[in-house]
Amino acid sequence: MDATNLPLADRAVDVCFHSGLFVCFDDNDLIQKVLREQARVSRQAFICIVHNARNEQLVQEFRRRAQQEPLYDIRFFTPEEMLELMRPYCQSVHLYPYGTLTCNRLIKYWRERHTLRLYYHLARRFWRLEQWERLMMVGYL
């Protein structure tokens, strides 16, 4: 499907979600079209996950890897960029940073997911934004 022109009625779904879609686009106008369409077809919210430009270690690692593998040649976003892109379509936008090397290791071995969710919730309060790999932006309509 064309993400800028979905074959759905207005307010056809409760929530639209994508993870990593915007990291493939340099064109903010195209991103705006996708966001406008997500707002049109969603009743409650849309969720966008992007890589965190504030995590300089992650950015450098991706640049290094991109020299060998084009898959790593992606765009990173700051929270401010995402807020600016999403605000015209949302009543409010909430940021939920997640994913760190430590957390990724824990996910691999930790069987009790509810405890891991609590860990994420608590860690978000104490870790600097620069430590998180991704930004989950939730736009409420």
The tens digit of pLDDT for each residue in 58-105 reads 999 999 999 999 999 999 999 999 999 999 999 999 998 877 655 555
Cα 114 from chain centre = 22
42 backbone dihedrals φ, ψ, rounded to 5°? -95, 145
8: three-class secondary structure by DSSP: coil
Is the pTM higher than 0.85? The answer reads no
CA separation for the pair 110, 120 (Å, rounded): 13
Closest by CA to 85, choosing from 21, 129, 131, 33, is 33
CA distance 76 to 24: 9
